[in-house]
Amino acid sequence: MARVLVVDDEVIITMQLKERLSSMGHKVVGIASSGEEAIAKARATKPDIILMDIVMPGKTNGIAAAKAIYKELDIPVIFITSHADDKTIREVKKVNPYGYILKPFNDLELKATIELALFRKSDVSDRKRAEDALRQLSADHKVIIDHAPAMIWYKDMKNTFVRVNPAGARAFGLAVKEIEGKNMYDLFPDCAEKYCQDDREVITSGKPRLGIIEPMTTASGENLWVQSDKIPLKDEDGNITGILVFVVDITERKRAEDALALASRKLTLLSSITRHDIINQLAALNGYLELSRDILGDPVKLAEFITKEQNIARTIEAQIRFTKDYQDVGIKATVWQNVHDSVAVAKEHLPLRGITVDTDSPTLEVYADPLLVRVFYNLIDNALRYGSEQMTAIRISSRESDCGLLIVCEDDGVGIPADKKEAIFNRGYFKHTGFGLFLSREILSITGITITENGVPGKGARFEITVPKSGYRFRGNI
């Protein structure tokens, strides 16, 4: 059943239409005799369909009334008229009515026209809802892409950027409008071929390439590790029309994975070396114990052997203690750490004896193993132990270079002999007094940081720590 508004200035025709419509199961919700009245009643009754005469009294004829109703209420109109001249037909076409019936008409014609109009209305409504939903989806899609932290872009078959989101544009160092409509060769001729080759493989095979992990340098010079997914785009017929590229920055994850892998290898190596060293020491200890048994009657010689045995026992103890410290290297994920704060923590646990320890930049952060504070502890401790009484100050400073960042820890003590500069990083150097510098080098190497000693003997020790460009940053003013 349809709710119908009948518009005609002839009372007999409107009464006949009301009876006919009722017999077909429809309900007449209103009758109007002019265009102005038709618009008003359409607003008031919101009918499903309107049967509209064209020629009526008043300033607004049926065509004008239909046009106004379409624009405001989107209600379908069927014209019922005695006029079929060319001029009228041309005017009617402009309104795009749902039907056109010439008087006189029969019930079958009227019924069929109404049913077709209702069907068309339903189809149009469904299509409009679908279009509205598509528009909303497209708007939502745009919001998601524009605000996604991932770099996203579409390219057509000619490798032209059809769409790029702000994150992708920032990585390229260009504005979105400077990228869209241009291809890789226009924008990035030096690296275009490499990436276009990957794109061609996806387009040719019709299969996506997922999880591509590769290095990427942004326009600002930042070195990243990214994971890329390249997906072919297809039309309704399955024809490939372009490619979608989705790129995620995985630099932090890659660093952590690499650091953990390196730590695992180091721990495996350490376990092997330490086991070998302790077994050797135990072999020497057992040898002296056997010899001691044979000289129980020689107190002087026995005391000498007991001293050697005690020294071996202390060496084994030091090795075991070191393995306890070393086992923590690389176990926890690497993090950004403030150098100034790490030095401050290290100082709290050392007897400075009036010696000053200064740092320069309070904003410097280094990406390193969480044991970074132990590095500065060991460097300061080493200076306190071997700097002699002439030492008065330890200074930790930093400066950027072509290789990255140089962190310098220097003192005004006696320095390191030239032939010992590399040996001090060996395990157990300085007569087995500790493994601090060896441990420091291992902690730093987890994230590709190196350390060397370049001081001038007699003028103080100078340890230089070189941090890769991607391994440091400055965080605002503190």
Residue owning tokens 């300085």: 430
What is the rounded average pLDDT of the residues 73-82?
87
Q: Provide the mean pLDDT of the chain.
A: 83
Stronger pLDDT, 333 or 124, i.e. the higher one? 333
Residue-level pLDDT at 328: 62
Residue-level pLDDT at 433: 40
The CATH code of the domain at 335-474 is 3.30.565.10
Q: Would the CATH topology of 3-139 be identical to that of 335-474?
A: no
Are 465 and 451 in contact by the 8 Å Cβ rule? The answer is yes
What is the rounded average pLDDT of the residues 224-237?
85
Can you read off the two tokens belonging to residue 464? 């230089």
pLDDT for 262 beyond 80:
no
Q: Which fold has domain 148-249?
A: Beta-Lactamase (3.30.450)
* Predicted confidence (pLDDT) per residue in 425-437, tens digit: 876 554 434 467 8
Neighbours of 217 (CB within 10 A): 11
Residue-level pLDDT at 478: 40
* Predicted confidence (pLDDT) per residue in 430-468, tens digit: 443 446 788 788 889 888 899 999 999 989 999 999 999
* Predicted confidence (pLDDT) per residue in 165-198, tens digit: 888 888 888 888 888 888 878 777 777 777 778 7
pLDDT for 269 beyond 60:
no
The CATH code of the domain at 3-139 is 3.40.50.2300
pLDDT range class, residue 309, cuts 50, 70, 90: confident
pLDDT range class, residue 333, cuts 50, 70, 90: confident
Overall pTM surpassing 0.75 (yes/no):
no
Residue-level pLDDT at 276: 60
Angle at 462 between CA 401 and CA 369, to 5 degrees: 70
Domain ranges of the chain: 3-139, 148-249, 254-326, 335-474
pLDDT for 302 beyond 80:
yes
pLDDT for 37 beyond 70:
yes
Stronger pLDDT, 117 or 61, i.e. the higher one? 61
pLDDT range class, residue 257, cuts 50, 70, 90: confident
Residue-level pLDDT at 12: 86
